[in-house]
Amino acid sequence: MNLAEPHLHIVLVRPEIPQNTGSIARLAAATRTRLHLVGPLGFSLEDRYLKRAGLDYWPLVDLRTYRDWDEFSHAHPAPPAKIFSARTEKSYLAATYARGDFLMFGSETKGLGREFIAKRSDCAYRIPIFEPGVRSLNLSNAVSIVVYEALRQIGALV
């Protein structure tokens, strides 16, 4: 695990699919991005699909876990956050990312919730989807798109 301060933080709130979280963990390891898992989780951290998707990179993942949103909020009372949802207007390309940002994503089936987004609409962004029949992107794909744009903006890609 990398103990240096991370470039960014990925926050998954109530993730449900272990393969997605495993893929995101692998991305977090590759980009030296801290991964925060906010429960309740839809799987066990011992899940074989989670472990398989993360391959042998789990020792390199800077992972923090929280029972629920209250525990996360207590540990990080006012993090510099950007939230991502298919149900908001501003493009993720309109965001100005900074080192230390917390990039927040909701569960695969419920997202972050309308109330959560409404309270934070000033920092809510979406990834454009051009086909009206497609409701959302795969969570691990969405996280990858945002993380690499954020890394590009903060000058971490060399």
From first to last of its 158 residues, what are the pLDDT tens digits of the chain?
445 677 899 999 999 999 999 999 999 999 999 999 999 998 888 867 677 766 678 889 999 999 999 999 999 999 999 999 998 999 999 999 999 999 999 999 999 999 999 999 999 999 999 999 999 999 999 999 999 999 999 999 87
Domain assignment present for 127: yes
What pLDDT is stored for residue 1 in this prediction? Answer: 47
What is the number of structural domains in the chain? 1
Task: Determine, yes or no, domain membership for 60.
Answer: yes
Residue 110 domain-assigned?
yes
Domain of residue 26: give its range: 9-153
In this structure, what CATH number is given to the domain that contains residue 84? 3.40.1280.10
Picking from 34, 132, 138, 149, the residue whose alpha carbon sits closest to that of residue 91 is: 149
Q: Which long-range contacts (CB under 8 A, 24 or more apart) does 152-156 make?
A: 153/96, 153/97, 154/7, 154/8, 154/97, 154/98, 154/99, 156/7, 156/31, 156/99
pLDDT of residue 92: 98
Number of helices followed by number of strands (H, E) in the chain: 5, 6
Residue 1 falls inside a structural domain: no
Note whether residue 15 is domain-resident: yes
Q: What does the pLDDT read at residue 58?
A: 84
Query: Of all residues in the chain, what percent are helix, strand and coil, respectively (each to 5)?
Result: 40, 20, 45
The encoded tokens of residue 100 equal: 């230390």
Determine the pLDDT at residue 62.
95
Predicted pLDDT at 5:
72
Q: Which residue bears the tokens 């525990």?
A: 71
Q: Is residue 2 part of a domain?
A: no
In a domain, 68, yes or no: yes
Residue 67: inside a domain: yes
User: What is the model's pLDDT at position 2?
Assistant: 45
Write the pLDDT tens digit of every residue in 101-131.
999 999 999 999 999 999 999 999 999 999 9
